């Protein structure tokens, strides 16, 4: 959970120490206007609290997701093994 003391956001999968999270964005995130508006504020909270949130959709390949994860963890000083 990410919080600023007033608002909170739950990340689908997150690593507290490096503050890297992953969120799956199903189709309702873009098709339901209220959800879309909510997600904007949620993303700002997560960013403001220092998290890197990797948003994933069904069309993203495993390799693309792993590449983004590699970059995010490297920004936090963690060096994962090279992708093959």
- Phi and psi at residue 22, in whole multiples of 5°? -130, 130
Q: In tens digits, what is the pLDDT along the chain, a chain of 84 residues?
A: 999 999 999 999 999 989 999 999 987 777 888 888 998 999 999 999 999 999 999 999 999 999 999 999 999 998 766 766
pLDDT of res. 80: 62
For residue 81, the model assigns a pLDDT of: 63
CB 54 within 8 A of CB 23: yes
Q: What is the pLDDT of residue 71?
A: 94
**pLDDT of the residue at 26:** 84
What pLDDT score does 61 carry? 97
Burial class of residue 14, CB neighbours in 10 A (0-12, 13-18, 19+) = buried
Cα–Cα distance for residue pair 63/83, rounded to 1 Å: 8
Please, which residues bridge with residue 24 across strands? 56
Encoding tokens for residue 32? 């339901």
């Amino acid at each position: 959970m990410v919080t600023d003391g007033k608002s909170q956001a739950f990340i689908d999968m997150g690593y507290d120490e490096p503050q890297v999270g992953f969120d799956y964005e199903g189709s309702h995130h873009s098709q339901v206007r209220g959800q879309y508006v909510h997600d904007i504020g949620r993303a700002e909270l997560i960013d403001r609290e220092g998290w890197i949130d990797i948003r994933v959709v069904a069309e993203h390949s495993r390799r693309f997701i792993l590449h983004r994860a590699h970059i995010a963890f490297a920004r936090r000083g963690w060096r994962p093994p090279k992708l093959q």
